[in-house]
């Protein structure tokens, strides 16, 4: 496969996954702000921190508020990581490889973009943030369903899936990092505010019912982190994402340096223990994970995507 084709497939799926995950960040912020008594604007800052857009936001919007953060994260065409920007980029990459992907996949992405292109502030307010976020997630689910249900299991399919899981790992880690300060292996108790935050995080990644199945009512920072880091049967966990990344790279080229890096990162979660991983605190673990994940992404680019 030509490296530029692989690049378009990889980034198409990354941008589609990114759009979905932005909706999850927004819903955490919205849930927390709705339950807050004062200083609701403070709950919207993590959306900017997670997406890495604080500097660009400050330059264009200045004061932080729910409305300005939502506009920046959803509608702003100048923000490449907004939902608008992500869906536009996903569609552009899909257009470049229309001859490679199934027609149903192109039609789904194109129609998603056409609906998003006409969105503005008044229409978003009429539809409601929650309804819009649900719609974006449904379109993302449709994208993955078409991919999985129609594509030949060839290199094109593998690069699509690779982008999805690498982006998902990054976003799950960033979501965990919002309230990582002070969380260690002995953080086995949670006050009402902690419980509210971690319940919102779990619900945002559709993991609350799974959590209750595994841990019952024992909602603490450590039990929430256990589900979203260590459980390989939880689809959005770091372990599950690296399972897939390592497997895919092994199929593409098991001797590539990126396959070795993925295997090492996967082994840390597969064979590691949560108390050991959190020995220096969740903040440090998340920082190290993101550094390693970014290095893996750069190496994938070097090994496969450079022309």
Indicate if 146 and 7 belong to the same structural domain.
yes
Q: Band the pLDDT of 166: cuts 50, 70, 90.
A: very high
Indicate if 117 and 260 belong to the same structural domain.
no
Indicate if 238 and 291 belong to the same structural domain.
yes
Indicate if 143 and 161 belong to the same structural domain.
no
Please provide the average confidence, as pLDDT, over all residues in the chain: 91
Residue 259 tokens read as 């396959």
Indicate if 162 and 209 belong to the same structural domain.
yes
Check whether 252 has a pLDDT greater than 80: yes
- Which of 118-131 are b and which e, b meaning 16 or more Cβ less than 10 Å from the residue's Cβ? ebeeeebeeeebee
Domain boundary among 151, 182, 208: 151
Residue 107 tokens read as 């039609």
Span 15-63, pLDDT tens digits: 999 999 999 889 888 887 877 656 667 778 778 877 767 788 888 887 7
**CA–centroid distance for 205 within its chain:** 9
- Rounded CA separation 70/58 (Å): 14
Domain tally, the chain: 2
Indicate if 163 and 307 belong to the same structural domain.
yes
Helix-helix angle 3-35:129-150, to 10 degrees = 150
Check whether 307 has a pLDDT greater than 60: no
Q: What's the whole-model pTM score?
A: 0.92
Domain boundary among 86, 117, 151: 151
Indicate if 134 and 251 belong to the same structural domain.
no
Domain boundary among 116, 151, 186: 151
Indicate if 105 and 162 belong to the same structural domain.
no
Indicate if 302 and 161 belong to the same structural domain.
yes
Indicate if 40 and 59 belong to the same structural domain.
yes
- Rounded CA separation 236/201 (Å): 12
Indicate if 300 and 192 belong to the same structural domain.
yes
The angle formed by the CA atoms of residues 52, 307 and 238, to the nearest 5 degrees, is: 40
Range of the domain at 131: 1-151
């Amino acid at each position: 496969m030509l490296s530029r084709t692989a690049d378009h497939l990889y980034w198409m799926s990354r941008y589609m996954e990114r759009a979905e995950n932005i909706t999850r960040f927004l819903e955490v912020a919205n849930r927390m702000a709705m339950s807050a008594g004062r200083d609701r604007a403070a709950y919207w800052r993590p959306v900017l921190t997670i997406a890495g857009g604080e500097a660009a936001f400050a330059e264009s919007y200045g004061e932080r508020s729910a409305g300005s953060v939502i506009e920046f994260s959803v509608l702003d065409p100048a923000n490449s990581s907004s939902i608008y920007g992500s869906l536009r980029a996903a569609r552009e990459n899909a257009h470049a490889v229309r001859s490679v992907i199934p027609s149903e996949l192109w039609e789904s992405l194109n129609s998603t973009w056409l609906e998003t292109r006409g969105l503005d502030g008044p229409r978003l307010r009429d539809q409601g943030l929650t309804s819009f976020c649900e719609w974006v997630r449904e379109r993302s689910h449709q994208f993955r369903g078409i991919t999985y249900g129609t594509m030949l299991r060839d290199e094109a399919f593998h690069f699509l899936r690779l982008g999805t899981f690498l982006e998902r790992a990054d976003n799950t880690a960033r979501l965990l990092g919002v309230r990582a300060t002070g969380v260690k292996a002995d953080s086995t108790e949670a006050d009402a505010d902690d419980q509210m935050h971690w319940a919102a995080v779990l619900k945002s990644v559709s993991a609350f019912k799974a959590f209750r199945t595994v841990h019952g009512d024992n909602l603490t920072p450590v039990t929430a982190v256990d589900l979203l880091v260590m459980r390989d049967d939880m689809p959005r966990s770091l372990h599950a994402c690296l399972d897939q990344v390592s497997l895919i790279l092994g199929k593409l080229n098991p001797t590539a340096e990126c396959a070795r890096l993925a295997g090492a990162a996967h082994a840390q979660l597969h064979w590691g223990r949560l108390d050991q991983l959190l020995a220096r605190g969740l903040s440090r673990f998340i920082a190290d994970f993101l550094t390693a994940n970014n290095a893996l992404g750069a190496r994938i680019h070097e090994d496969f995507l450079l022309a």
